């Protein structure tokens, strides 16, 4: 099957799944992204192992899962922020467990176990707060979360289509030879136009705020793609995985979300 067709079909299924989970109920979204967090961590740790480094996969995934769930419970009002303190206990258990693993380069293993949590679990955990940044009781604004994903998807779609069609000038050839300035600008324009459009319907924040978020998305999804490319190059991997036909793995599909989410989260906190 033509790669573009396969990529498009996978993208449609993926978009429908995410959109339905967001508009159905917060629990559906949290459940879906808990699974994505676990798969992303597993994928990351397996990739690191190909470079001869042995992070503690089970401890990292357990810590990342608890990190995601504790933030989800806070975001939906089921518990207070004190539960976040338990994350410190989970994280520091990784140090103790490494004592008994009897593997070479223990501190490198610990560092990459933590890196997986910082790179994957924290950004996905922050998505829980997008529908209710100020943690008001019984409040859920799926539009804020939907808007964020629409902007990311439009930016990536525009960058891919424009870059494939007319891309000539390399954006960062040392890291990503296929990424071009033309594609980046195409994605940026489409994302900003999308921000203008959704501001007419998603009115929890103003038009200017949506344009600022669009700009944040344009900048940091590009950096997210470059960062993941740098990571894959460092371990001689073409794709992060094969879970999503035509797209690669979880990290290939979510590299922009991972990098943009923390910055959009900070902006939403400021706005609210």
Burial of 194: CB neighbours in 10 Å, binned 0-12, 13-18, 19+: buried
Q: What is the pLDDT of residue 138?
A: 73
pLDDT at 1 over 60: no
Q: In whole numbers, what is the pLDDT of the chain averaged over residues?
A: 91
Q: Which of 180, 151, 157, 147 shows the shortest CA–CA distance to 8?
A: 157
pLDDT in tens, 4-25: 677 778 778 889 999 999 999 8
The mean-pLDDT minimum among 32-36, 135-139, 208-212, 250-254 falls in 135-139
pLDDT at 199 over 90: yes
pLDDT in tens, 53-77: 999 999 999 999 999 999 999 998 8
More confident residue, 102 or 150: 150
pLDDT over 90 for what percent of the chain?
Answer: 69
Q: Which of 168, 167, 165, 133 shows the shortest CA–CA distance to 148?
A: 133
pLDDT at 80 over 70: yes
**109, 55 in Cβ contact below 8 A?**
yes
Average pLDDT over residues 23-49: 95
Q: Which of 192, 207, 209, 237 shows the shortest CA–CA distance to 44?
A: 237
Q: If residue 154 lies in a helix (H) or strand (E), which one and from where to where?
A: helix 142-166
How open is the CA angle 141-143-144, to the nearest 5 degrees?
80
């Amino acid at each position: 099957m033509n790669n573009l067709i396969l990529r498009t079909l996978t993208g449609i299924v993926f978009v429908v799944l995410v959109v339905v989970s967001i508009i159905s109920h917060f629990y559906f979204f949290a459940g879906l992204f808990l699974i994505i967090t676990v798969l992303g961590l597993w994928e990351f740790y397996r990739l690191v192992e190909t470079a001869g480094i042995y992070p503690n996969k089970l401890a990292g995934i357990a810590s990342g899962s608890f990190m995601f769930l504790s933030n989800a419970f806070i975001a939906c009002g089921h518990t207070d922020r004190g539960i976040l303190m338990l994350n410190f206990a989970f994280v520091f258990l990784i140090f103790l467990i490494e004592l008994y693993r009897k593997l070479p380069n223990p501190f490198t293993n610990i560092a990459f176990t933590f890196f997986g949590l910082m790179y994957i679990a924290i950004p996905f955990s922050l998505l829980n707060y997008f529908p209710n940044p100020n943690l008001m009781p019984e409040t859920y604004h799926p539009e804020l979360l939907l808007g964020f994903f629409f902007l990311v998807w439009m930016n990536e779609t525009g960058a891919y289509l424009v870059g494939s069609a007319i891309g000539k000038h390399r954006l960062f050839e040392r890291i990503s030879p296929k990424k071009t300035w033309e594609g980046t600008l195409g994605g940026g324009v489409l994302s900003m136009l999308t921000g203008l459009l959704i501001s007419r319907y998603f009115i929890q924040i103003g038009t200017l705020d949506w344009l600022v978020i669009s700009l944040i998305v344009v900048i940091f999804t590009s950096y997210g793609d470059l960062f993941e490319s740098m990571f894959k190059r460092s371990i001689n991997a073409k794709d992060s995985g094969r879970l999503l036909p035509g797209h690669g793995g979880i990290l290939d599909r979510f590299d922009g979300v991972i990098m943009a989410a923390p910055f959009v989260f900070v902006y939403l906190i400021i706005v609210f």
